[in-house]
Amino acid sequence: MRTQLIRKLGVPLLAGSMALSFSAAATEGLYSVEALLDADVFDSNGEEIGEVEDILLSDDMSIHSVIIETGAVLGLGGREVVGERGSFTVTVEQNGDSEAFDDIDYAVHMEATQDEVKELPEYDEGWWNQTRESLSQAWENTKDISESAWENTKAATSSAWHNVREGAEQIGDNVEEATDNN
C-alpha cells in the first residue's frame, strides 16, 4: 500500500518540480551557450565593440575563451579576437517584464578599452595551435610535478615508518635489557 501511494504521488511531484525548474528565470551561475553566442560585447568604458562569435571550452568543460568579432559592419570586415577567461564578465539582462528563461539576453563586458581589445590575439590557426600546445605542455608539467610529489611523499613516509620501527625496536631492546638487569 505504502509503495503504491509513493508511486502515485511521486510522478506528479516529480513532474511539478520539473515544470518549476524549466520555467525559472536564469539561475545564478547557469548560462545558455546558445543565448551567449551573438551577445553584445562592451569595452571597459561601456562602448559596444562587437559580439560573441564562438566559445572555447577547456578539457574540464569550463570556458577557456570567448571569440569576439570586432569592427564588423553588416557582418563584413570584422576581426576575430580572443578574450581569455578572467578578462571579461557576463551579465544577464531580462527582456521586458517576462521572467521566462527564453527571454534572457547576455552582455559580455571586457576589462579592456577599445585600444587594448585591438591588441588581443587574433583567433586563427596559429593561435589555436600555440594555445593547444601550451595547454598540453602545462598538463604534462602538472603530471610530472604531481608524480614527483607523490614519489617524494612515498619516500618520506617510508623513511618515517622505518625510523619509527627502529625506534620502537630500540625501546623494546632497552626495556628487555632493563628487565634482565633487575
pLDDT tens per residue, range 21-34: 333 344 456 777 88
Model pTM score: 0.56
- Alpha-carbon dihedral 148, 149, 155, 156, rounded to 10 degrees: 150
In sequence order, what are the residues at sequence separation of 6 or more whose Cβ sits closer than 8 angstroms to the Cβ of residue 88? Answer: 41, 66, 108, 109, 110, 111
Enter the DSSP assignment of 113. Answer: -
Ordered by start, the domain boundaries in the chain are 26-123, 124-182
- Please tell me what DSSP assigns to residue 76: B
What is the CATH T-level fold of the domain 26-123, as seen in this structure?
SH3 type barrels. (2.30.30)
Surface-to-core class of residue 96, CB atoms within 10 Å of its CB (0-12 exposed, 13-18 middle, 19+ buried): exposed
Predicted pLDDT at 146: 76
Q: Spell out the residues 6+ positions from residue 8 whose beta carbon is closer than 8 angstroms to its own.
A: none
